[in-house]
Chains A and B, each alone.
Chain A
Amino acid sequence: MQFRNVANLVAVAVVATGLCTPANAGPEDDTLRIAMAEEILNLDYNYTTKREYIILAQLTDAKLFEFDPETQDIKPSVASEFEWVDETTLDVILRDDVKFHDGSRLKAEDVAYTYNWLRSPESEANATGVVERWLEKAEVVAPNRVRFHMTAVYPLVLRDMASRVMLRKAGTYGEDGQIDRDAMSSALVATGPYRVVSFEPGTELVLERFEDYFGEKPAIENVTVRNIPDIGTQQAELMSGGIDWMFKVPEDVATAADAIPSIDFLSGADLRIGFLVLDAGGWSDAEGPMTKVQVRQAVNHALNTEEIAKFLMGESSQAIHTACHPAQFGCDQSVTKYDYDPQRAKELLAEAGYPEGFPLDLWAYRDKAVAEAVASDLTAVGIDVNLRYVKLESLNQARAAREIPAYFGTWGSGGTADTAAIAQIHFGDSDRNLSGDDQLSELVLAAEQTADPDERKAFYSQALGVIADEAYWAPLVTYTANYLVAADLEFPLSPDGLPRLQNARWK
């Protein structure tokens, strides 16, 4: 009797297993299942900022231009070509075969509407900050031609068009005073290679290949995005065939998982870099040690960035000596390099009047192991580091109050492989700029106001040279993008670290 009960239970379990276990991911149903820890809540990249949303926007949206991560060129996408009418007027000519996911054809009015909407204060969009920097007005001058009137000379306009503004149908966000900023948050109608089939915020997003997409169609027909907050659970799903792709995998987890035959560990470049920002401007202490160039150079010499990259960041990480990612346009690598030389660091400290070192509050908010390694290297040359590991918000508040002598920061440039994307915010008119060097800010600004690429490169070379010579930063390492993928999935890595899932295919 008892045995029969147990047998019944096992039978129920077996049947239930067959009925309820989720379908395996993979080529069988041509569905690429991916996991994201961050909850996906809003599909409209014009109104979001985080990395996950950039990845999804690559799948669902098309832009006027596209950035080619291999060549660093800006290529036409929805636009077929462009013409400068004068220094501040740009005409963009549109393809005539671009369709929205609802089947309607994209018109010049849609493009003008999108840009004008994002430019308007009532849009309150996250993309507004990028557009309002240069756009005065977009107007339709012919059925397939949009004229952009700019407020000033701005050579990065094509880059902005290629990175931030997703095209929407005219009237999307409301008409006649009725504003609906969430119009595209869950029922996205865009022009990209995949269209939204269903979306349950925070749980699951289902996409299917958009057969009327104007560009090269993706090889895989369906993509399902599941929100799985725990990295361990994601790994278990990958092992059991529930998902095919996960990212932001810690190095140790990825290395361990690589031993499983059904899983591949891919490690690629990421545009994020880590660095120390030093208060050369003396905001926190007008006479502080960081105001002396020898001290800042000593800090640079004290840091064993090669070992930090190798042992703490992963095999694709590399030590850097510039205030930008080497893969970025204009990131001149010929600037002064400070080799790891603790003895030279001590000598420089002595020259600066600190033979016994000095106490330093070093702030950090992420990658504690790296922050501790930095603190340890600095302590070894006599700098008595008090590591203040805090929440990002606290660091931002302290920095805004100009109370930070040095901090460990990182920057991902929003996936944009152009030095402008990092120089602008860290050496321009921002509280992140602790250099106190107005001429440097002018150089950075000048690079943004020049249309000629060679001239831009020259400006950045000059600016990066000043930053290195004056040791305003202590550049540390590049980050790596670690992925775990199913062994039967071919997922090409991009040099800019942005995952482009539309390029994935089954082996």
Chain B
Amino acid sequence: MLKYIALKGLLAVLVAFTVSLAAFLLLNVASDPAQAIAGEDATPGVVETIRARYGLDRPVYERYVSWLAGVVQGDFGESYYWHKPVAELVAERADETLTLAFSALLVTIVIAVPLGALAGLNPNSWIDRAALGVAVSAQAVPNFWLGLIMIILFAVMIPIFPVSGDNSWYHFVLPAIVLGASSVPAVMRLTRTGLIEVMGADYIRTAKSKGFRGNHLLRRHALRNAILPVISVLAVQLGQKFGGSVITESIFAINGLGRLALESILGADIPTVQMLIFVFAIVFVAMNLLADILNAALDPRIRIG
């Protein structure tokens, strides 16, 4: 098992660096960072000053190597905009994104698992069709649209929640619903399929023959087994919430990593973008790794294979 984890861990680090290299090249080749920082009406003199100030006049490979050397020593460089160490900047904003990601995951679980269970226990019934309808709708609706609709409904027309900001837990309700909704279809379907499969299994028949029924049968025998693959999917979904927070944080003006990423990309703040991509990649890869380990722990055939 340790060998398996080590191998997966090594692959994770390689993926993170490959992503960072691709991001670095795209950021530098596709645009002129100095111009992006300076703005539309900047004179050539100002652009040149910025280029020299941030060492953007050096070759791209040289800058990447120097960034990599810093990362190995735990130094992610200094932001062009904020003029402070990028690691400090990311640490300051991680709170908001973590809060949003975990709240969104909670929303996903609260909606998707019961809905999936209901659908799985009543396959092909109107409940099943209604649940699948919810899943299809949640999948079809883009985040930015759902966000604006939620704002109009629950912040403007019925002013229960604040429109934007991140001053209190209350500010996170609407964004968590918006971000959480996108994962509902996958988790709901998996719960439903798992339950249908489990409910047809021999051990459930045995349990029923012993007289177990209703909630007890569902909680002690069926759901516990059906939910195992869902847990590993939720781990991956948590990773996706980090990346997915970019749009949600912008709509709700939450000052987290997603919004930082968007602003940094628009402003070509390369050190910040680099670290954020690195962090997002690491989180995503770590969550995948966690899911792999969970699966391997639950099913030994996986680590042998």
User: Which A residues form the contact surface with B (CB < 8 A)?
Assistant: 13, 16-17, 19-22, 39, 41-42, 49-50, 124, 126, 128-129, 181-182, 185, 200-203, 226-230, 232-233, 236-237, 239-240, 242, 366, 391-394, 396-397, 410-414, 425, 430-431
Contacts and interface: CB of A to CB of B under 8 A. Distances in A.
Interface stretch (B191-199, B220-228, B233-241, B247-255): B247-255
Contacts of A41: 81-82
Given A13-B160, A20-B162, A185-B83, A236 B43 contact: no
A393 B31 contact: yes
Nearest to B259: A229
Given A242-B162, A412-B41, A236 B53 contact: no
Given A185-B83, A233-B251, A236-B152, A49 B41 contact: yes
B151 interface: yes
Given A20-B168, A129-B43, A233 B163 contact: yes
B46 A49 contact: yes
A16 B251 contact: no
A202 B260 contact: yes
B164 A242 contact: yes
Given A50-B39, A391-B30, 10 more contacts: A41-B81, A124-B49, A126-B46, A126-B49, A200-B255, A229-B259, A229-B263, A232-B148, A394-B31, A412-B40
B146 to A, nearest CB: 12
B253 A228 contact: yes
9 contacts: A49-B41, A50-B39, A126-B49, A230-B251, A233-B164, A236-B148, A237-B163, A240-B155, A393-B31
Contacts of B31: 391, 393-394
A434 to B, nearest CB: 14
Contact of B164 (A42, A185, A228, A239): A228
B165 interface: yes
A236 B170 contact: no
A230 B144 CA distance: 10
A343 B151 CA distance: 52
A124 B162 contact: no
Given A391-B31, A431-B44, A202 B263 contact: yes
Interface string B240-276: 0000000000111101000110110000000000000
B75 interface: no
B5 interface: no
A229 B253 contact: yes
B82 A232 contact: no
A392 B259 contact: no
A237 B110 CA distance: 29
Interface in B30-54: 30-32, 35-36, 38-46, 49, 53
A396 B35 contact: yes
A42 B82 CA distance: 7
B159 interface: yes
Contacts of A39: 81, 263
A233 B151 contact: yes
Interface string B142-177: 001000100110011001111111111011000000
Interface of B: 30-32, 35-36, 38-46, 49, 53, 81-83, 144, 148, 151-152, 155-156, 159-168, 170-171, 250-253, 255, 259-260, 262-263
Given A49-B42, A393-B35, A237 B164 contact: yes
Given A236-B151, A237-B164, A227 B253 contact: yes
Contacts of B263: 39, 202, 229
A229 B49 CA distance: 28
Given A49-B46, A124-B53, A185-B83, A393 B253 contact: no
Contacts of B32: 393, 396-397
A49 B255 contact: no
A425 B156 contact: no
A16 B161 CA distance: 9
A364 B164 CA distance: 34
Contacts of B262: 229
- Identify the 9 closest CB pairs spanning chains A and B, nearest first: A20-B170, A393-B32, A129-B45, A393-B31, A228-B253, A229-B250, A203-B255, A182-B83, A393-B35
B35 A129 contact: no
B49 A230 contact: no
Contacts of B253: 226-230, 233
Contacts of A21: 159, 161-162
Contacts of B156: 236, 239-240
Contacts of A237: 163-164
Contacts of B46: 49, 126, 129
A230 B44 CA distance: 30
A55 B48 CA distance: 25
Contacts of A410: 40
Contacts of B152: 236
Contacts of B40: 366, 392, 410, 412
B225 to A, nearest CB: 30
A41 B266 CA distance: 14
Contacts of B170: 16, 19-20
Contacts of A229: 250, 253, 259, 262-263
B159 A17 contact: yes
Given A49-B46, A129-B49, A392-B35, A42 B81 contact: yes
A22 B49 contact: no
